[in-house]
């Protein structure tokens, strides 16, 4: 089952209470691809990179079954660059720099070889570009999942709202859900956001897990309590990659299966935060993933004997 992933492939500079890196590979589509490639062997990447993006990283992705025909390389420009600094609690961060570089003139093209994909993951990117990818699909994918962030709510809200009318699942964090809906209560926020288009809404709450809303149903998945969170960058994208990867692998887009997909996404994200950048995602094995999913099951399973 094939899956298209769209988003940034970037360099990041990250500062956390545990350390600092000036230049590490990142980007929304990079994290999504690393996570999803554990579940789907045909991940079709759409992105843009500059002359400086490491060839070894592209080879690493290719070795995991990620197709890069849709990754455009611009010879005389630098890759997208983002820099962020985390607060002590690691749940909040400040964006220090967003240098669009190659992203400024990105015009994503869906290659013909990608047209058969049944799953589409719109990673965090300019909403206009997310829309352009949807419009280029000759057959509407079975499931379109969209990620976004407050940055686009601040500067491209109308475009973002247009994309919302065309997607099935939206992923945001709690702050973004409140910003988008103008509601403090997440239940009210979810209702308002689902009226904007998506039938399913996932609200991520960092170390406090994630909520899945659909019609009048809500499901909660915790985050695994970890002794050390080293760098949360990319956790959201990794969650998205695990979530859609599981759905694409099982070809089942029911609410029930989305509950499992959220646990899979949470397990992947819990690995991502253990090291800077996507490093930890490159080390883990199928067995590691299964073990961690088992830890989630253990975390929430209990019997109640009411007399
Ligand atoms: P996350 O921590 O899941 O929100 O994702 C962080 C990744 O998103 C970093 O690797 C950045 O390169 C990338 N990123 C940051 N800002 C943007 C943006 N405005 N558009 C697309 N990607 C971004």
Kindly state if the Cβ of 26 falls inside 6 Å of ligand 1.
Answer: yes
Nearest CA to ligand 1 atom 6: 234
For residue 135, count other CB atoms closer than 10 A to its CB. 9
Ligand 1 touching residue 233 (CB < 6 A): yes
**Is the C-beta atom of 265 inside 6 A of ligand 1?**
no
Place of tokens 């760098």: 231
| Whole-number Å distance between alpha carbons of 272 and 264 | 13
Residue 307 falls inside a structural domain: no
| Within-domain flag for 46 | yes
**Cβ atoms of residues 9 and 80 within 8 Å:** yes
Position 305 scores a pLDDT of 86
Q: Does ligand 1 have an atom closer than 6 angstroms to the CB of 234? A: yes
Domain presence at residue 268? yes
- The rounded Å distance from CA 304 to ligand 1 centre is 42
Residues 6+ apart with CB under 8 A from 23: 11, 12, 13
CATH number, residue 95: 3.40.1190.20
Within a domain: 305: no
Q: Ligand 1 pocket, 148 CB below 6 A?
A: no
Q: What pLDDT does residue 207 have?
A: 86
Cα 235-147-214 angle, rounded to 5 deg: 105
The Cα 208–Cα 196 span in angstroms is 26
Q: Does the residue 306 lie in any domain? A: no
Three-point CA angle 282, 43, 151, nearest 5°:
80
Report whether residue 8 contacts ligand 1, using a CB cutoff of 6 Å.
Answer: yes
- Number of Cβ within 10 Å of residue 134's Cβ equals 19
Residue 52 is predicted with a pLDDT of 98
Atom of ligand 1 at shortest range from CA of 84: 15
Residues ≥6 apart with Cβ < 8 Å to 209 = 220, 221, 222, 223, 266
- Would you tell me how many other CB atoms lie within 10 Å of the CB of residue 73? 16
Alpha helices for 137-254 (secondary structure H): 150-155, 157-164, 174-181, 186-195, 235-250
300 Cα–ligand 1 center, Å: 30
pLDDT in tens, the chain (307 residues): 699 999 999 999 999 998 899 999 999 999 999 999 999 999 999 999 999 999 999 999 999 999 999 999 999 999 999 999 998 888 788 999 999 999 998 999 999 999 999 999 999 999 999 999 999 999 999 999 999 999 999 999 999 999 999 999 999 999 999 999 999 999 999 999 999 999 999 999 988 999 999 999 999 999 999 888 889 999 999 999 999 999 999 999 999 999 999 999 999 999 999 999 999 999 999 999 999 999 999 998 888 888 7
Cα of 82 to ligand 1 centre, how many Å?
Answer: 7
Mutation choice for ligand 1 from 91, 124, 147, 154, CB with most ligand atoms inside 8 A: 124
Has residue 31 been placed in a domain? yes
Count of structural domains, the chain: 1
pLDDT given for residue 177 in this prediction: 98
Question: Within the chain, what is the greatest distance between any pair of CA atoms?
Answer: 72
State the distance from the centre of ligand 1 to the C-alpha of 28, rounded, in angstroms: 5
Which residue has the least CA distance to atom 15 on ligand 1?
Answer: 82
Closest atom of ligand 1 to CA, residue 233? 2
**Domain ranges, residue 246:** 3-300
Would residue 204 count as lying in a domain?
Answer: yes
Q: Ligand 1 centre and the CA of 234: distance in Å?
A: 7
Residue 18's pLDDT is 86
Output the DSSP codes for 39-62: T-S-EEEEEEEETTS-HHHHHHHH
Å from CA of 235 to ligand 1 middle: 10
C-alpha atoms less than 13 angstroms from C-alpha of 240 in its C-beta half-sphere: 33
> E strand or H helix at 133, and its extent?
helix 127-136
Other Cβ atoms within 10 Å of 17 Cβ, number: 12
d(CA 132, CA 258): 26
* Torsion from C-alpha of 287, 290, 291, 296, nearest 10 degrees: 160
Of all protein residues, whose CA lies closest to atom 14 belonging to ligand 1? 27
Residue 149 lies in a domain: yes
pLDDT at 307: 73
Q: What is the pLDDT of residue 304?
A: 87
């Amino acid at each position: 089952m094939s899956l298209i992933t769209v988003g940034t492939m970037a360099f990041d500079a990250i500062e956390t209470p545990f350390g600092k890196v000036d230049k590490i590979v990142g980007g929304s589509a990079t994290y999504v691809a690393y996570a999803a490639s554990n579940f789907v062997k045909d991940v079709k990447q759409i992105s843009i990179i500059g002359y400086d993006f490491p060839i070894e990283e592209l080879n690493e992705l290719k070795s995991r079954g990620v197709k890069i025909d849709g990754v455009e390389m611009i010879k005389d420009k630098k890759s997208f660059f983002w820099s962020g600094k985390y607060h002590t609690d690691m749940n909040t961060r400040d964006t220090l720099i967003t240098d669009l570089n190659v992203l400024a003139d990105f015009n994503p093209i869906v290659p013909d070889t990608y047209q058969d994909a049944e799953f589409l993951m719109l990673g965090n990117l300019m909403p206009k570009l997310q829309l352009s990818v949807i419009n280029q699909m000759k057959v509407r994918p079975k499931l379109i999942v969209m990620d976004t962030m407050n940055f686009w709510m601040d500067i491209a809200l109308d475009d973002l709202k247009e994309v919302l009318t065309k997607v099935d699942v939206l992923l945001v964090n709690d702050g973004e859900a409140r910003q988008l809906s103008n509601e403090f209560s997440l239940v009210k926020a979810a209702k308002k956001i689902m009226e904007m288009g998506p039938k399913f809404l996932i609200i991520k709450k960092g170390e406090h897990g994630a909520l899945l809303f659909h019609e009048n149903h809500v499901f909660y998945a915790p985050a695994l309590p970890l002794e050390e969170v080293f760098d949360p960058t990319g956790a959201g994208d990794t969650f998205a990659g695990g979530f859609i990867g599981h759905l694409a692998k099982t070809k089942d887009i029911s609410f029930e299966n989305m509950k499992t997909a959220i646990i899979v996404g949470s397990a992947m994200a819990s690995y991502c935060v253990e090291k800077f950048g996507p490093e930890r995602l490159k080390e883990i094995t199928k067995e590691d993933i299964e073990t961690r999913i088992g830890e989630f099951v253990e975390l929430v399973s209990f019997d109640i004997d009411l007399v």
